[in-house]
Chain A
């Protein structure tokens, strides 16, 4: 099941809210969440529920053993076993085919490439459970002694299949004691409506443009302008797609009384790549920073090699394909350069230059992210600077630009912190009620319009679903 689906919105979510708020005690509410989360996960993949339960069970047991054997070698072994198990499960389901294909390519053997169905959201819940067991080992969180509560944390449907990667420490207290305030419900509603609007109204319609040029069109004949135009549209599509999903997840969490950390913070206003990754998919970036960046595996050269390890992992996490690895390392290189230049020197560079630099790197990066096929990736890169003999402009691209002009303007407004700025100004001018009324009208409009656009939606992809 996905969030942007009429059945989810009007049947599942409605039923879940009713059951949740009818239950008065936290313990019952936790059970409501567990039951609905397992139904949510089993909706498309009933078999994988057992994998999820098994994975939670093993890590639950590991947590207890770590606690029991704290500060002994046995605790380290328990942690290591759980971590190795989690990583092996992820590698098996997500990367086996990739490994076999590459092994076949470099060796004379021709092993059959297994077609393993990947359980939805395995990358996300594996990372959550890894963070739990490692934090248990480090002692930064209390070990959860109740299996249902740990199961609720891992399986909670708002963040189960596409993040954000919620650390156990973030909701540790709220599992047992949470208060749902008027502010939570109101903010949650707003986040859901904003997220739906971003995903259905903006991202889905941007995806039509991307498909018509990159997927269905003749890439080799696309003009320079058309290529830049499409890749910029794609960058915005990915942003609205994923941040929309995160908004919905955070919003539903708020209504249930949970306060997940933010996953996006207007990434396109970044002045450099380091900042971009502090604003883009924050939960993944902080995961790698906290659990991989400081691994003592490269000795004295740790500073730089660990950086590349982080970016290799970031790329590889996104998919079993070389273009994702290149994409990760590509950003790693720019971040390394920025580190070598130093933050102080970077600040001295005029803003215009840093913004142009960061946008160019980010946008080209999204092109690398899009093209799994290396032939097409090469054509795309050639197109960007007219190396393929392609024209500077073409009529169809211009037509597409004008035909979607207002859509772009809306996208730009939502890419920039325009709404918080307006809110701040209106509050300063004592017009907070007016802003609130406008927000409510906007919420209703976004929700209703998104629902209408979801009627028989044939174009409703969810990019981060596959990861």
Chain B
């Protein structure tokens, strides 16, 4: 019986063996039909017909044997391996050995640091991710390589519009062209210089005549507007023939009245206004013995961009007024419409960058000094410098029509004595460095001339002796104002609200601040940037 079973089992094994061999044969047949690995063009070669059969004459061997390669093919392979392998090895060595940058001038930010190990970070994947970020972010010569990459991208095609524009308005200087815009306009920009104000408190509320202004009439909860000096009537430019040449998100390049402009369309969101206003009012309430200033700055959107291009419900100007009306009366407001409108014919904005020229910032700083009742250095006491620059819109969009449209960046270096220390977001000392490091100037990152990078907290000690200590809470826009305030305050702390890891209320008290200035663009105030303000007040 046992032997019988044994025989049966042996028989079964034999059958199984035959079955597996059959399967194996089938499998190898199947493999024969698989697509041959290609080496030349990426995809498989078209060696397989639609019906699955192979073309005649094509070898069906899946793994090509070296012996079958001709000497010619072997030579080609050796060259390929030798050249590619050597270049790969050189690049590996370069990337591992060459010094890595710590600051990006083009992006105005410190670059990633090698992360510190912790088990928590490791298990969350943050540690390894940060290592990759560090490696990718701090590539040697990164800014040059980025520039090269951008130039390469510009070869992808050509711009029909760029061809017609270049030549007409090549190298238009900022400011000067604003006059040109006014004179060439079919519907000229009307800028009526306000009559001299008698006093801050006696003037009536500003009236916006912005054609798209839906204003705050429907917003009943807003407090009564603060009284400021009259601005006269200001009309946002209009140009029905304005032509959008390129757009990427809100970054826009357009041709208006024969001038090429580039900027960022205003996109503030009123939903953020209560949060921002509440934070400002809370700041004033918690620091009752300090002077609190607010500036929600207007940009080119108000002064340059034709209303026809704007897509928002409320204009920048209307939103700034709406926001201002919600602030406590104890907060002193720097109204940039009032401040800048009288200087609209001067070079106060760039034509193809989203920032203001330092001259515009100077007038805003002058207004701050006036409200603070501190001294302020006249413009002729500064050393004036001019440099070529390339607007941020070009860097972001790579729109080739802008490549040859340089601008002049005019900046003013204060001549008094001051010292600047740079700290990180935790207020750990990093280094001392000039306030305006001119030796590091680059056309592609010109705005970083003002205090290197937003992510650093700066402590400026000046030669002014008036016991006035200013804390500035800002986005990047007011950076150009800071050098103009070195003649006004004894000490200045500059904090970008996006890069602060401590409670600013405690900080102001601890540092004995006498004045707190909160400044950013209206769009920043009405966006998640503004929402940082309540956060850093409650950390």
A455 at the interface (CB under 8 A from B): yes
Measured in the bound complex, the distance between the Cα atoms of B42 and A29 in whole Å is 26
Q: Smallest distance from the beta carbon of B421 to chain A beta carbons, Å?
A: 28
Q: Which positions 42-73 of chain B face chain A at CB distance < 8 Å?
A: 42-46, 48, 50-51, 62-66, 69, 72-73
Are the CB atoms of A406 and B156 closer together than 8 Å?
yes
B40 at the interface (CB under 8 A from A): yes
Q: Which positions 325-376 of chain A face chain B at CB distance < 8 Å?
A: 343
B308 at the interface (CB under 8 A from A): no
Measured in the bound complex, the distance between the Cα atoms of B64 and A392 in whole Å is 52
CB nearest neighbor in B for A43? B128
Q: Which positions 32-55 of chain A face chain B at CB distance < 8 Å?
A: 42-47
Q: Smallest distance from the beta carbon of A180 to chain B beta carbons, Å?
A: 10
B176 at the interface (CB under 8 A from A): no
CB nearest neighbor in A for B156? A407
Which of these binds chain B: A256-264, A291-299, A381-389? Answer: A256-264
Q: How large is the interface on B (under 10, 10 to 19, 20 to 34, 35 or more residues)?
A: 35 or more
A266 at the interface (CB under 8 A from B): yes
Query: Residues of A contacting B339 with CB < 8 Å?
Result: none
Q: Could you tell me the dominant secondary structure of chain B's interface residues?
A: helix
Q: Smallest distance from the beta carbon of A450 to chain B beta carbons, Å?
A: 10
Q: Which positions 75-96 of chain B face chain A at CB distance < 8 Å?
A: 75-81, 83-85, 87-88, 91-92, 95-96
Which of B34, B37, B91, B145 is within 8 Å of A250, CB to CB?
B37
Query: Residues of A contacting B31 with CB < 8 Å?
Result: 169-170
Are the CB atoms of B44 and A264 closer together than 8 Å?
yes
Which of B20, B41, B77 is within 8 Å of A186, CB to CB?
B77
Query: Residues of B contacting A170 with CB < 8 Å?
Result: 31, 34
Q: Which positions 15-36 of chain B face chain A at CB distance < 8 Å?
A: 16, 19-20, 23, 26-27, 30-31, 34-35
A403 at the interface (CB under 8 A from B): yes
Query: Residues of A contacting B63 with CB < 8 Å?
Result: 259
Known contacts A182-B66, A447-B87; is-contact A10 B125 (Cβ 8 Å): no
A419 at the interface (CB under 8 A from B): yes
A80 at the interface (CB under 8 A from B): no
Are the CB atoms of A10 and B91 closer together than 8 Å?
yes
Query: Residues of A contacting B79 with CB < 8 Å?
Result: 436-437, 440
Task: Give the one of B43, B66, B129 with max A CB within 10 A.
Answer: B43
Measured in the bound complex, the distance between the Cα atoms of B142 and A454 in whole Å is 10
B148 at the interface (CB under 8 A from A): yes
Q: Smallest distance from the beta carbon of B85 to chain A beta carbons, Å?
A: 7
Q: Smallest distance from the beta carbon of A447 to chain B beta carbons, Å?
A: 7
Q: Smallest distance from the beta carbon of A118 to chain B beta carbons, Å?
A: 13
Query: Residues of A contacting B186 with CB < 8 Å?
Result: none
CB nearest neighbor in A for B129? A44
Are the CB atoms of A243 and B42 closer together than 8 Å?
yes
A275 at the interface (CB under 8 A from B): yes
Known contacts A7-B131, A10-B95, A194-B41; is-contact A417 B157 (Cβ 8 Å): no
Query: Residues of A contacting B249 with CB < 8 Å?
Result: 212, 216
CB nearest neighbor in A for B123? A46
Are the CB atoms of B84 and A182 closer together than 8 Å?
no
Which of A141, A264, A408, A448 is within 8 Å of B43, CB to CB?
A264
Are the CB atoms of A193 and B156 closer together than 8 Å?
no
Measured in the bound complex, the distance between the Cα atoms of B243 and A345 in whole Å is 52
Known contacts A212-B249, A399-B161, A437-B79; is-contact A10 B37 (Cβ 8 Å): no
Q: Smallest distance from the beta carbon of B11 to chain A beta carbons, Å?
A: 13
A439 at the interface (CB under 8 A from B): yes
CB nearest neighbor in B for A178? B63
A84 at the interface (CB under 8 A from B): no
Known contacts A254-B37, A403-B156; is-contact A456 B44 (Cβ 8 Å): no
Query: Residues of B contacting A405 with CB < 8 Å?
Result: 156-158
Which of B91, B145, B161, B244 is within 8 Å of A455, CB to CB?
B145
CB nearest neighbor in B for A405? B157
Are the CB atoms of A282 and B35 closer together than 8 Å?
yes
Q: Smallest distance from the beta carbon of B373 to chain A beta carbons, Å?
A: 45
Measured in the bound complex, the distance between the Cα atoms of B77 and A10 in whole Å is 22
B149 at the interface (CB under 8 A from A): yes
Q: Which positions 428-479 of chain B face chain A at CB distance < 8 Å?
A: none
Query: Residues of A contacting B104 with CB < 8 Å?
Result: 456
Measured in the bound complex, the distance between the Cα atoms of B38 and A419 in whole Å is 11
Measured in the bound complex, the distance between the Cα atoms of B62 and A396 in whole Å is 48
Are the CB atoms of B72 and A433 closer together than 8 Å?
yes
Which of these binds chain A: B133-141, B234-242, B286-294? Answer: B133-141
Known contacts A182-B81, A455-B139; is-contact A169 B27 (Cβ 8 Å): yes
Q: Smallest distance from the beta carbon of B90 to chain A beta carbons, Å?
A: 10
CB nearest neighbor in A for B253? A399
B74 at the interface (CB under 8 A from A): yes
Are the CB atoms of B88 and A44 closer together than 8 Å?
no
Known contacts A140-B27, A396-B247; is-contact A43 B156 (Cβ 8 Å): no
Are the CB atoms of B160 and A398 closer together than 8 Å?
yes
Are the CB atoms of B122 and A46 closer together than 8 Å?
yes
A320 at the interface (CB under 8 A from B): no
Measured in the bound complex, the distance between the Cα atoms of B95 and A451 in whole Å is 11
Q: Smallest distance from the beta carbon of A21 to chain B beta carbons, Å?
A: 11
Interface string of A268-284 (1 = CB under 8 A from B): 01010001001000100
B418 at the interface (CB under 8 A from A): no
A190 at the interface (CB under 8 A from B): yes
Are the CB atoms of B42 and A443 closer together than 8 Å?
no
A104 at the interface (CB under 8 A from B): no
Known contacts A7-B131, A183-B73, A451-B91; is-contact A396 B246 (Cβ 8 Å): yes
Are the CB atoms of A139 and B19 closer together than 8 Å?
yes
Which of B37, B50, B66 is within 8 Å of A278, CB to CB?
B50
Are the CB atoms of A265 and B35 closer together than 8 Å?
yes
A219 at the interface (CB under 8 A from B): no
Are the CB atoms of B43 and A14 closer together than 8 Å?
no
Measured in the bound complex, the distance between the Cα atoms of B74 and A181 in whole Å is 10
Are the CB atoms of A433 and B75 closer together than 8 Å?
yes
Are the CB atoms of A190 and B80 closer together than 8 Å?
yes
Measured in the bound complex, the distance between the Cα atoms of B37 and A457 in whole Å is 31
Q: Which positions 168-183 of chain A face chain B at CB distance < 8 Å?
A: 169-170, 181-183
CB nearest neighbor in A for B161? A399
Measured in the bound complex, the distance between the Cα atoms of B45 and A269 in whole Å is 12
Query: Residues of B contacting A6 with CB < 8 Å?
Result: 95, 135-136, 139
B39 at the interface (CB under 8 A from A): yes
Query: Residues of B contacting A186 with CB < 8 Å?
Result: 39, 76-78, 80-81
Query: Residues of B contacting A266 with CB < 8 Å?
Result: 43-44, 46
B146 at the interface (CB under 8 A from A): yes
A5 at the interface (CB under 8 A from B): yes
Known contacts A7-B131, A399-B161, A402-B160; is-contact A140 B87 (Cβ 8 Å): no
Q: Which positions 109-156 of chain B face chain A at CB distance < 8 Å?
A: 122-123, 125, 128-129, 131-132, 135-137, 139, 142, 145-146, 148-149, 152-153, 155-156
A-B contact pairs, 29 of them (CB 8 A): A5-B136, A7-B135, A10-B96, A11-B96, A43-B129, A43-B132, A46-B122, A47-B123, A139-B20, A140-B23, A170-B31, A183-B66, A183-B77, A189-B80, A243-B42, A259-B62, A262-B35, A399-B161, A399-B246, A402-B158, A403-B158, A403-B246, A403-B400, A432-B72, A436-B75, A455-B139, A455-B142, A455-B146, A457-B136
3 nearest A-B residue pairs (beta carbon): A436-B76, A187-B39, A419-B41
Beyond contacts A212-B249, A403-B399: 12 other A-B pairs, Cβ-Cβ < 8 A, are A1-B132, A43-B125, A170-B34, A212-B248, A262-B38, A264-B43, A407-B157, A414-B41, A414-B42, A433-B76, A444-B84, A456-B146
